[in-house]
Structure 1
Amino acid sequence: MARQIHIFRSPERFLAGTIGQPGEREFYLQVVDGRRVLSVSCEKQQVAVLADRLGSLITEVERRFGAAPTPAPVETPGPDLGTLTTPVDAEFRVGTMGLAWDGEGAQVIVELLALSEEEVGEDIVLEDREDGPDALRVFLSLDEALQFARHAERIVAAGRPPCPLCGNPLDPDGHVCPRLNGYHRGLGG
């Protein structure tokens, strides 16, 4: 089957979202442009890394090229990107992620490649070659990239609270904390 590259040049929304309860959440990245909706599934850590790397890219673009997102007041969390458009039907599971800055178009490019059993080299990312895994390529302004990163950070942080000793997520009935040599630790301490 031929490789599919889904390209969104100026989407209405690009967001991270979840389905399920904390501890059992499934993470998705979704892009919406009119009636065209595409979702990909991913890991929580991938959402966190993407948000972090977007923040780093925005900082570097500002430092090197003088381009910056429109400053928003610190108290304002930014526009609500909303929730996932349902039904959520993942096109593929994300394996490799790539980011780039298009100086001519003044856009951040996010590319998400499908999980593949084969090693994916840098030469495949952001290329339209016939070989390689399916891909989702999204073009965002600096403002949109910053909004995505802030929203993604909130989605990641909305899960289970961390254990104050080990940092692992606490279930409603506690967890077996490695810092307590395996003794059960409840939420109350």
Structure 2
Amino acid sequence: MPPQVFDHSAPDRFVVGTVGLPGERTFFLQARTAERITTVVLEKEQVEMLGERVNELLDLVRSKSSDPRSIPLQPREDLIDNAGLSVPVEAEFRVGTMSLGWDTVAEHMVIECFEFTQEDAESGTSADPDEAEDRDRLRVVLGAAQAREFSRRADQVVGAGRQDCPFCSLPLDADGHMCPRANGVAR
């Protein structure tokens, strides 16, 4: 079966969200264009990294732009989206490799998420984006303001998990945890 490309070149919505309780959450990216919705599953660390890199790229583009006002420093109020994921939440694939770029001509950000395959799991690596033509892919094109809002929400969703232990910075479970800095004493 040929790989599918889920292309959202002008999405109405592109968000990160979760299903489950803190400590047991599953993370999703969801793109919606009109009535078409694409959902993919990924790891918390991938969400955190993507949000950070989106902000870093926007800041870099802003610093080199002839019109820095075209790249907002903060999310625009009218674009803030705190609504839940559209249901049913059914992932098309699990994300392995992601790529991020800025189109200087069209002045928009391109995010691509490539499928993590069974071969990747067995080898312990993920495909290089340049060599991932045989994989399903989510491709999303965002304006600068949309990208800034995506990054804000990604940070918010990642931060909404479990509290960190004040001693070792590892996540606390509802019933505490065995703190390595306290020689395994439960906190």
TM-score, normalised on structure 1? 0.88
C-alpha distance in structure 2 between counterparts of 1:122 and 1:19, whole Å: 28
C-alpha distance in structure 2 between counterparts of 1:150 and 1:182, whole Å: 36
Q: Which residue does the alignment assign to 1:144?
A: 146
Q: Which residue does the alignment assign to 2:123?
A: none
SS at match of 2:127: coil
Q: Given that residues 12 and 34 in structure 1 are in contact (C-alpha distance below 8 angstroms), is that contact kept between their aligned partners in structure 2?
A: yes
Distance 1:174 1:78, change over 3 A: farther
How many residue pairs get aligned? The number is: 179
Distance 1:174 1:41, change over 3 A: same
Q: Given that residues 40 and 93 in structure 1 are in contact (C-alpha distance below 8 angstroms), is that contact kept between their aligned partners in structure 2?
A: yes
After superposition, the C-alpha distances for 1:79-115 in whole angstroms (9 at most, x for unaligned) are: 1242100000000000000001011111100000010
The runs of at least 4 consecutive aligned structure 1 residues that moved more than 3 Å come to: 70-74
Q: Given that residues 94 and 115 in structure 1 are in contact (C-alpha distance below 8 angstroms), is that contact kept between their aligned partners in structure 2?
A: yes
Q: Which residue does the alignment assign to 1:41?
A: 41
Tell me the amino acid that sits aligned with residue 89 of structure 1: E
1:121 to 112, 116, 128: 128
Give how far 1:132 is off: 2.5
Distance 1:47 1:73, change over 3 A: closer
TM-score, normalised on structure 2? 0.89
For 1:12-161, list aligned pairs within 5 A: 12-66=12-66, 67=68, 68-72=70-74, 79-116=80-117, 117-118=119-120, 119-124=126-131, 131-161=133-163
Tell me the amino acid that sits aligned with residue 162 of structure 1: D
Give how far 1:69 is off: 2.4
Q: Which has the larger helix fraction?
A: 2
C-alpha distance in structure 2 between counterparts of 1:159 and 1:26, whole Å: 11
After superposition, the C-alpha distances for 1:95-140 in whole angstroms (9 at most, x for unaligned) are: 0000010111111000000103255124236xxxxx4211000000
- Structure 2, gaps ≥5 residues long: 121-125
- Structure 1, gaps ≥5 residues long: 126-130
